[in-house]
Amino acid sequence: MKGVILAGGTGSRLFPLTKITNKHLLPVYDKPMICYPIETLTTAGIEEIMLVTGGKNSGDFLRLLANGKRFGAHLSYTYQEGEGGIADALILAERFAGDGPVCVILGDNIIEGSIRGAVDAFREQEVGARILLKEVHDAERFGVAELAGDRIVGIEEKPKAPKSNYAVTGIYMFDSSVFSKIRTLVPSNRGELEITDVNNAFIREGTMQFSFLDGWWTDAGTFESLLRAANLVADKAQKAAAAAPGMGAGS
């Protein structure tokens, strides 16, 4: 399985921080935001990764990340012109993916735990798609999954009356049919090709599965969530340091 990180967009909600840099290069605690999704993929055993970026500062990713060797990854790059949506960005990775499956993660998604279990489950699944869900208190802000037992029967984008509290996180796994599905989409009212429409296409054909994401999850696309992400990462690092041998209360 190959990995795709979507790190385009203008980051307008973080202006003026993003006036001179890409949102995904902003710091989250002690390293740039883009490092976290790379580590999410590599710790799940995914080492061939394509980064989809855009805007005026795309060259800075190459300066920062180079070929990905220090992450234990091999990085490739492609460029999205304009803002056509998540699905529009994903289709740029079609040649990179070939006939194999892909694990897609949004570049501002930061998680506490690992997606290794979900990735392994998708490898056994072989066909279709798998998404990661997280129970939240403000589901109306997200794409929301409607569940019927162990099945997803639909996903609704930012519903006023959510049918569950399970948000669709920005982590998706697809077989190679995802690209033909994207080509059938029409732009939404926002003028974008929506990833929710892609997911619903897999649901309609009965090949969508899901896993629940352990630990905390946040994006970092607003001032509030960027601060929250930094605090969560800092807390995790401090707990890990305190639990390390020789680092007890008396150290």
Q: Residues 46-64: what's their mean pLDDT?
A: 93
Report residue 2's pLDDT band, with 50, 70 and 90 as the boundaries: very high
Phi, psi of 45 (to 5 degrees): 85, 15
List of residues 6+ apart from 206 with CB closer than 8 A: 128
Give the residue, 82 or 219, on which the prediction is more confident: 219
**What Cα–Cα distance (Å) separates residue 113 from each residue in 140, 167, 218, 236?**
24, 17, 12, 10
- In the beta sheet, which residues pair with residue 172? 104, 131
**Domain ranges, ordered by start, for the chain:** 2-243
Looking at residue 81, what is its pLDDT?
A: 86
Looking at residue 141, what is its pLDDT?
A: 87
Report residue 208's pLDDT band, with 50, 70 and 90 as the boundaries: very high
Looking at residue 251, what is its pLDDT?
A: 45
Distance between CA atoms of residues 160 and 140, nearest Å: 6
Cα 57 to chain center, whole Å?
A: 20
Looking at residue 247, what is its pLDDT?
A: 56
> Is the per-residue pLDDT at 123 higher than 60?
yes
Phi, psi of 5 (to 5 degrees): -110, 125
> Is the per-residue pLDDT at 83 higher than 90?
no
Give the helix ranges, DSSP H, for the chain.
Answer: 35-42, 59-65, 86-90, 94-97, 116-125, 178-183, 195-204, 223-243
Cβ neighbours around 20 below 10 Å, total: 8
- Name the pTM for this structure: 0.94
pLDDT tens column, 237-247: 999 899 888 65
Distance between CA atoms of residues 72 and 114, nearest Å: 16
Helix (H, G, I), strand (E, B) or coil at 244: coil
Looking at the structure, give the CATH architecture of the domain made up of residues 2-243: Alpha-Beta Complex (3.90)
Looking at residue 66, what is its pLDDT?
A: 96
Give the residue, 55 or 66, on which the prediction is more confident: 66
List of residues 6+ apart from 160 with CB closer than 8 A: 140
Q: Residues 102-118: what's their mean pLDDT?
A: 96
Burial label, 77 (beta-carbon count in 10 A; 0-12, 13-18, 19+): middle
pLDDT tens column, 133-170: 999 998 998 999 999 988 999 999 999 999 999 999 99
- Note whether 60 and 26 are within 8 A (CB): no
Phi, psi of 36 (to 5 degrees): -70, -50
Cβ neighbours around 115 below 10 Å, total: 25
Q: Provide the mean pLDDT of the chain.
A: 93
pLDDT tens column, 214-251: 999 998 989 999 999 999 999 999 998 998 886 554 44
Q: Residues 19-45: what's their mean pLDDT?
A: 96
Residue type at position 154: G
How do the residues of the chain divide into helix, strand and coil, expressed in percent and rounded to 5?
Answer: 35, 25, 40
Sign of CA dihedral 173, 176, 177, 178: positive
